[in-house]
Chains A and B, each alone.
Chain A
Amino acid sequence: MTRTPHVMLTGGIALAALVGCDADDDSYTGTAADAAPGTLVVDLTDGMSLDKARALTGLDLEWVDARTADEALAHTQVDNLAFEIDRLEDLSGIEAVEGSLEVQALGWPDDPLLERQWNFKTVGAETGWRAGAGRGITVAVIDTGVTKVADLNQTTILKGATFVSGTKTAVDDNGHGTHVAGTIAQSTNNGIGVAGIAYEADILPIKVLSGRGFGRSEWVAAGIDEAVDQGADIINLSLGGSNSRVIQNAVKKAVDAGVIVVAAAGNSGRQGVGCPANVPGVIAVSATGPDDKLAFYSTWGKEVFMSAPGGNKRMEGGGILQDTIDSSPEGHAFQEFQGTSMATPHVAGAAAVLLSAGAGSPDQVKEILRESAHDLGEAGHDPKYGHGRLDIDGAVRNLAITEHGALFGLAGLTALGLAMAAGLRRHRSRMALVAAVTAGGAFFLPLLPMVPSTTIELLAVPFLNWPSATWSAAWAANPLWLSALLPLALTFFLAPVRYLGPIIAGFTAGIGVHLLHGAATSSLDVTWMSSGAATAWLGLNGVIAIVAALAGAGVTSYQDRKHNGEL
């Protein structure tokens, strides 16, 4: 992997902290570890010859490199580092002396096999890792089951269910399902193996395929129903077959319930997308190889929504590498697989990233995936690549700039307008402005070159999306959450507190703007409501929240005037 500049910068800063690399401190304190043989590094006065350096130190010094001769940076092996450092450090002609420190890049993430995941580089997975990485999102893997192999050690694997006769749990007895789950949520930055696209997402394993990789249509249909019942936000179907009415019905119910369904187009190498990928509402995925061309095995057809890396093992290192079960003594191995089965979880993982990054609805996720896809083949939608190859980097940027950016700006403008209308003083207006844009979401944060943190991820999404970015996408769609209840409560109880007033007013305004924005753009799903009812609900509550914000700003303005004797 080519480390990106910010990773190197971060690593460098961390490294500097670790080795005490302080420009203002040229002292060196030997440690117990130095009282041992090792490599001594001596920085002599610039321009000093090697003979003179040897004479000065009494050591058989060599230049660290021929190019360091002019800097007079030398090194040699000594029997007792601490003794030599103590002896030399105050000598005239020696600028610095220390034991050679082993330098190890502190990259992020630190999964040692990440370099072999060409597919993650292709889709720009790193941006997704800074945008929530699927936290709070449940992805159902309807497959051969999932086993918690070593590199799923930090991934939440839910209990799940099995519909395969003769099995009692959703443990994997094939390897396919575990590999698929790994692409979605392989434990990442755990110092082991490889990474996953949405490594903070929870995996819900639903076993519908036997240990030989086959299943029955009724098992698949039951598995889809079960995933919906268990609260899955996304369903990954790396399986297929001929048309099945019961599967079509189950998929329709899942889509109607607001679940994102992603399915593999098939591995026939010819035209003719199978079921369930050909069911309306499903995101059907074809496969590409390292060369960004349709993989030789991939099925194609008009139903293909988009493509994603599925691997091509005819090319060196061209498979998709994840951890899965095998018959070795360790019980697992990092294996390269290829297939549209492998492409599909890339998209499912990307959907989880977008939901955790604050996308408000499955339709919005689908739209962003479509708009951001990297167009391949014929211009626009085509039967081989659909709308194009998955681009997570572009998708996150799209969500941030076009959706949250607008919200950020609207929230800020509304807060300023309210502040002016209420006659708030300038510093109070600034407080309201900051609170409002915080509620609207600091959309630009995931685009900055920073190592992810929960705080940054939360601040980057609108406040009303915080539940889906933390614990439950379902709660984020609750009509009580998507209402003026909280703004009214905040205004009633906290706006009269003098120094909190402008903050509460701004924050409430930000929530109100988001509710109105949701009503206007259908970007917020409201549970139990039809589309029309949801629009009315969000619009009404948005107006109430704005009025509450104005009232809060008015209270603050009144208090300030009274305090200053203007009333």
Chain B
Amino acid sequence: MRGKLIYEDIGAGGWSLKATDGNTYALDGDIPKHLANKTVQVDGKVQRGGGFGFMMSGDPVLVVQSIRAV
């Protein structure tokens, strides 16, 4: 999945992906900070049922397996 990586300053902070498919995903994974605001390629799985967390963005959770700038 490809899109723009955004740091979300909510709670203790987290990441979201504004994907090129028009959806936004909350990202669950180790995200390098230097990728913030860059277009990235993310490999991972969308968590079934949406997932729980403190971000509470209402977006589906994408569990990140790998991420790289493109």
In the docked arrangement, what's the CA distance between A215 and B49, Å?
A: 12
| A residues less than 8 Å from B50 (CB atoms) | 241-242
Interface: A384 (CB within 8 A): no
Taking the closest CB of chain B, its distance from the CB of A132, in whole angstroms, is: 29
* Residues of chain A whose beta carbon lies under 8 Å from any beta carbon of chain B: 143-144, 174-176, 179, 208-210, 212-217, 219-220, 238-242, 244, 264, 266-268, 270, 272, 274, 297, 299, 313, 324, 337-342
What are 25 A-B pairs with beta-carbon distances under 8 A? A144-B54, A176-B54, A179-B12, A208-B52, A213-B14, A214-B51, A214-B61, A215-B52, A219-B52, A239-B53, A240-B52, A241-B49, A241-B56, A242-B50, A242-B51, A267-B10, A267-B57, A267-B58, A297-B10, A337-B12, A338-B9, A339-B11, A341-B10, A341-B56, A342-B11
| Contact between chains at B52 and A209 (CB < 8 Å) | yes
| A144, A212, A340 interface centre (most CB from chain B within 10 Å) | A212
| A residues less than 8 Å from B43 (CB atoms) | none
| Contact between chains at B52 and A268 (CB < 8 Å) | no
| A residues less than 8 Å from B59 (CB atoms) | 268
| Contact between chains at B56 and A266 (CB < 8 Å) | yes
| Contact between chains at B54 and A143 (CB < 8 Å) | yes
In the docked arrangement, what's the CA distance between A241 and B9, Å?
A: 18
| Contact between chains at B52 and A241 (CB < 8 Å) | yes
A144-B54, A267-B11, A341-B56 given; 14 more Cβ-contact pairs under 8 Å = A176-B54, A213-B12, A213-B53, A214-B51, A214-B52, A214-B61, A220-B52, A239-B54, A240-B53, A240-B56, A241-B61, A242-B50, A267-B58, A274-B56
Taking the closest CB of chain B, its distance from the CB of A27, in whole angstroms, is: 59
Instruction: Tell me the dominant secondary structure on chain A's binding face.
Output: loop
Q: CB-CB contacts of B14-44 with A at 8 A, as 1s and 0s?
A: 1000000000000011100000000000000
A214 touching B56 in the complex, CB below 8 Å, given contacts A241-B49, A313-B9, A342-B11: no
The chain B residue with its CB closest to the CB of A247 is B52
Size of the B side of the interface (Cβ < 8 Å), in residues, is 20
| A residues less than 8 Å from B52 (CB atoms) | 208-209, 214-217, 219-220, 239-241, 244
Taking the closest CB of chain A, its distance from the CB of B36, in whole angstroms, is: 16
Q: Which of B11, B28, B30, B58 contacts A176 (CB 8 A)?
A: B11
| A residues less than 8 Å from B10 (CB atoms) | 267, 297, 338-339, 341
Interface: B55 (CB within 8 A): yes
| Contact between chains at A272 and B58 (CB < 8 Å) | yes
| A residues less than 8 Å from B14 (CB atoms) | 212-213
| A residues less than 8 Å from B54 (CB atoms) | 143-144, 176, 209, 213, 238-239, 264, 339, 341
In the docked arrangement, what's the CA distance between A340 and B14, Å?
A: 15
In the docked arrangement, what's the CA distance between A531 and B20, Å?
A: 56
Instruction: Tell me the dominant secondary structure on chain B's binding face.
Output: loop
| Contact between chains at B49 and A268 (CB < 8 Å) | no
| A residues less than 8 Å from B12 (CB atoms) | 144, 174-176, 179, 213, 324, 337
A244 touching B53 in the complex, CB below 8 Å, given contacts A174-B12, A337-B12: no
Q: Which of B9, B30, B51, B56 contacts A268 (CB 8 A)?
A: B56
| B residues less than 8 Å from A299 (CB atoms) | 56, 58
Taking the closest CB of chain B, its distance from the CB of A118, in whole angstroms, is: 18
| A215, A240, A313 interface centre (most CB from chain B within 10 Å) | A240
> Which 4 A-B pairs give the minimum distances between C-beta atoms?
A242-B50, A268-B58, A241-B52, A176-B12
In the docked arrangement, what's the CA distance between A560 and B47, Å?
A: 80
| Contact between chains at A267 and B9 (CB < 8 Å) | no
| Contact between chains at A215 and B53 (CB < 8 Å) | yes
Taking the closest CB of chain A, its distance from the CB of B16, in whole angstroms, is: 11
The chain A residue with its CB closest to the CB of B15 is A212
In the docked arrangement, what's the CA distance between A241 and B58, Å?
A: 7
| B residues less than 8 Å from A208 (CB atoms) | 52
In the docked arrangement, what's the CA distance between A209 and B52, Å?
A: 8
| Contact between chains at B11 and A212 (CB < 8 Å) | no
Taking the closest CB of chain A, its distance from the CB of B58, in whole angstroms, is: 3
| A residues less than 8 Å from B51 (CB atoms) | 214-216, 241-242
| B residues less than 8 Å from A217 (CB atoms) | 49, 52
| A residues less than 8 Å from B11 (CB atoms) | 176, 179, 213, 238, 267, 337-339, 341-342
The chain A residue with its CB closest to the CB of B64 is A212
A266 touching B49 in the complex, CB below 8 Å, given contacts A176-B11, A238-B11: no
Taking the closest CB of chain B, its distance from the CB of A303, in whole angstroms, is: 14
In the docked arrangement, what's the CA distance between A240 and B9, Å?
A: 17
Taking the closest CB of chain B, its distance from the CB of A319, in whole angstroms, is: 9
In the docked arrangement, what's the CA distance between A243 and B12, Å?
A: 23
Taking the closest CB of chain A, its distance from the CB of B45, in whole angstroms, is: 13
Taking the closest CB of chain A, its distance from the CB of B13, in whole angstroms, is: 8
| B residues less than 8 Å from A219 (CB atoms) | 52
| A residues less than 8 Å from B55 (CB atoms) | 213, 267
| B residues less than 8 Å from A266 (CB atoms) | 56-58
| B residues less than 8 Å from A209 (CB atoms) | 52-54
Taking the closest CB of chain A, its distance from the CB of B40, in whole angstroms, is: 17
| B residues less than 8 Å from A274 (CB atoms) | 56, 58
Taking the closest CB of chain B, its distance from the CB of A369, in whole angstroms, is: 22
In the docked arrangement, what's the CA distance between A217 and B50, Å?
A: 10
A212 touching B9 in the complex, CB below 8 Å, given contacts A217-B49, A268-B57: no
| B residues less than 8 Å from A338 (CB atoms) | 9-11
| A residues less than 8 Å from B49 (CB atoms) | 217, 241-242, 244
